[in-house]
Chains A and B, each alone.
Chain A
Amino acid sequence: MGNKTVNLIGKNSMRIVLTLLPIIGFLILWQLAAMFTSIGNLMPGPIQVIESLFISFAKPLGPHTIQMHALYSLKRVMVGYGSAVVTGIIFGVSLGLSKMFRALFRPLFELIRPIPTVAWIPISILWFGVDEMSKYFIVFYGAFANVALSVYMGIQRVDPVLVGAAKMLGCSERQLTFKVVLPSCIPYIFSGMQVALSAGIMSVVVAEMINSYEGIGWNIHAGQQTANMTQVLTGMVALAIFGLLMAAILRQVERRMCAWNTRNT
């Protein structure tokens, strides 16, 4: 038995080593390339980037420290994304449940939906000015359609057997909606929220790159304008960590709230 555990640990650590090896190799190659070839003139090595990331926790990068930048971006994502989730769920549910609502709003929705989020930035600046409002709007638009469509699809795919069974047992329309249809589309709501979250983060970064004075996207853009490649890459790494963290939090919430349904994501 002891033998077996040792073997298991050996296998596990072997796997970890095998996973880390390519990353380390990639980083070393990058570092060497930055140190010894002309790539060094174009971009810093990984050590410099990670160092700058850690320094930026204490020393401001531009107007703020990196965690303040992240908080600015977080606030924009939260306001825009939060309102998109709420309205998107309501809109999607209404689309799915009411034929009248669908007839009224589906065509308009389909008319506006193909326009990519970024194309709204110039007009949102004209409408809402350069303040926070235009960024909220961009994040909202980026997230809304994802949530709405996913919820709508979820309602369409409610298992007909469940609906039939509920009806046979004498469910009223109201009970059917609240006890069967809505709970069964919760996984779709979450998958829509997950997709919408990455869309929202992407939108906030573009919005900040085009028009802002702070935030993670600003960092990347400001670095580009002053040809400060370290700042650009620091911003990118911070952004990646930010996105991963948000997705992980949402996944935890999902695991708590619908434990019966384990999606493999």
Chain B
Amino acid sequence: MKKDFFSKYTVISIISVTLFFVIWYVLTAKMMIVPAYVMPDPLKVFGALLRKFTVKTPDGATLGSHIAASLQVALMGFGFGTGLGVPLGILMAWYKTVDRVARPIFDFLRPIPPIAWIPVMILWLGIGTEARAAVIFMSAFIPNVINSYTGIQQTSQVHIWVGRTFGASDFELLTRVAIPSALPNIFTGMRLSLGTSWVSLVSAEMLASTRGLGYMIQIGRQFSRTDLVLAGMIAIGILGGLLAVILEKVENRIVKGRQGYGK
């Protein structure tokens, strides 16, 4: 990657991104094609993003505390969703009885998009942190169960036979053979659920909240502060990307002996 840093195509990429911002700037700040409340120029947006770290108007909190509120809820819901979803998926795939009991109920709840739970959770748990965490739990839980389940099911039969031949008990087969070989799938589930968690977090905050990045852009819209809306979107995008990168680093640490494609 480093080697072709200044190749022709890298230069083109840099030019294309720069051009994007220049055109945006010229169209909005110089030519005034659209009024600023529809689309502010990029400098204004980045200015708003930086200023928001200290300014509390119009939504009553600085960017830092919005980010803290969002992260807290997202990580709580994601943590519980992974902590319960992965074991359930593993148990469902390994033990037929668990599968028989849990599968139908799970299949019943699965097609409901996580955000549809928002009103129900608000009614059950109020508009506090718990309701939002519960919605995120639902959105993290389902991909985790599905992917751990497929991961365990795809355990190579040969590996299981070898384990049996060497006298492994059923439980040992699960912990020593099936779970390690399912790890890539389990992490795929975690990655997917991290993505959906972040999406449902933002929607939960837009619909019912008094803190958080979703709330910030919703208020920004109500006050026609488009610069703030865009600044909030950028912050949401950067944080979501950062979380995904962190998870990928953890995955690279833990998952070993991967075959086939990949970096």
Contact = CB atoms under 8 A, between A and B. Distances in A.
Interface of A: 18-23, 26, 42-43, 99-100, 102-108, 111-112, 114-123, 125-127, 157, 198, 201-202, 205-206, 209-210, 217, 220-221, 223-224, 227, 229, 232-233, 235-236, 239-241, 243-244, 247
B20 A108 contact: yes
B44 interface: no
B105 A23 contact: yes
Given A103-B8, A118-B202, 7 more contacts: A103-B10, A115-B234, A119-B202, A122-B218, A123-B233, A220-B119, A241-B111
Contacts of B13: 103-104, 106-107
Interface of A is mostly: helix
A224 B124 CA distance: 11
B113 A115 contact: no
Given A103-B9, A114-B238, A120-B233, A209 B118 contact: yes
Interface stretch (B75-83, B96-104, B166-174): B96-104
Interface in B192-243: 198-199, 202-203, 206-207, 214, 217-218, 220-221, 224, 226, 229-230, 232-234, 236-238, 240-241
Interface of B: 8-10, 12-14, 16-17, 20, 37-39, 100-105, 108, 111-120, 122-124, 198-199, 202-203, 206-207, 214, 217-218, 220-221, 224, 226, 229-230, 232-234, 236-238, 240-241, 244, 261
11 contacts: A22-B103, A99-B9, A100-B9, A100-B12, A114-B238, A119-B237, A121-B206, A122-B218, A127-B39, A202-B113, A209-B115
A118 B199 contact: yes
A126 B206 contact: no
A103 B12 contact: yes
Contacts of B261: 157
Centre residue among B104, B111, B117 by max chain A CB count within 10 A: B111
Contacts of B38: 126-127
A233 B101 CA distance: 23
Nearest to B100: A18
A104 B16 contact: yes
B240 A244 contact: no
B16 A103 contact: yes
Contacts of B112: 236, 239-240, 243
Given A23-B104, A106-B13, A236-B116, A123 B214 contact: no
